[in-house]
Structure 1
Amino acid sequence: MSRFPRRWLWAALTVPAVITAAGLAVLTGGIEREIAANVHAALPEVTVDVHGRDVVIGGIQAERLGKAREVAAGVEGVREATTRDPELGPMRMIFAAGQVTVTGVTGQAAWRDGFLTAIGEQSHGRRIVDETKTVAGTDFPITTEAARAVVSVITQQPEDMTVAVEPGRVMVAGVVPDNARRMAVVTVLRRLFGADTVVDKTKTKE
């Protein structure tokens, strides 16, 4: 067989395959764009990456990711929804001198402002001193509701205390007048975060 028939045979076999692959790429791209649009319609504030029918969402607070993942998984066309979790940096709440000083990092100024406003509502008149920073791709390692509960219980007693939070570990330190007040604080923290997570370094004056 001459080289020409061989070339024609090769073309006859490969050209349809190339056309089919190109068509599938166009079709897949259209499906991915449709899925991304559907997810954005349900969750306007998230970032969305689509791979086939699987989506990865991010760009929102860590405390909202679980619910957002459930919503995304229920969107038409989505096979599986996962999240791109922010880096949870350590934070500290220092209760002293009639104020609560908060340090830590979170991804957006609006998240930080909402967090600080929420805990300020539970501070029993203590001033909130904001020493937090905005750093892309990060978030506080504690939910807003948990922080509200911590601030509420600790600001009800006058002694200086510190709560340091990092992923998987919550340390509370300070000296309180008696064991009943100490246990009131520690019990709330253990209920919120789990007994194995809380490191109790409090002491009493007794």
Structure 2
Amino acid sequence: MAKIEGIRIANYRVLKDLTLGKLWNTQRVQPLTPLSVVIGKNGVGKSSLFDAFGFLADCLKLGVEEACDARGRGGFERIRSQGSDGPIEFEIYYREERRARPITYELAIDRDDSGRPYASRERLRQRRKGQSHGRPFSFLVMNGGRGVAWTGQAEGQQIDEVVDRESVLEMLLDRIERRLTGEERAETEFVELQDRRKLGIATLGALKQHPRISSFRQFVEGWHLSYFTPD
């Protein structure tokens, strides 16, 4: 049974930079348990935390622009943390089953030149079998609706965090392509979405040649969130 072991949220409502549980680069931290209880005073972000999960599910089902407006959220500028000009960011660290290698999903949402929200960055990655340290290998890299995905169980590539976050997409894809061997090319798909307000996992997760992306999509689709307001 899949479970989340850690989550990071940045610039979402009052959650300017929150990490719960462990991430791929904080392995000494205890993971979230199957039953986690959140306690705090009014206004500290409990509702924002729960809505973050609903927002991610809505991004998958509706696209990021509609998700920003859904459930009375009021649009991108209303849900981006006050005083922040950076993207809304999410990082989910989860396992498909107890003994499976963890997978990290990262999503950044920003405004384009016309002021509309879009998925500016999206990534899925996983360490190789037997790899206990170091940067995981990315098997989905999307920047603004364009990118590359590795099919099946192909390991993908290690991508430098600092350099690639700042580089333009063409430079990133060129570096990836130059690193590919003949066998790796057969396992690699260069992707361009028609609508960059849709998530790459929504489209690629429907294809059987991407089982890990499909599993994560189904995991998010299976979330059950109850929205209620007590009297």
Same fold (TM over 0.5): no
| TM class by smaller structure | under 0.3
Task: Return the TM-score normalized by structure 1.
Answer: 0.28
Superposition TM-score, scaled by structure 2 size? 0.25
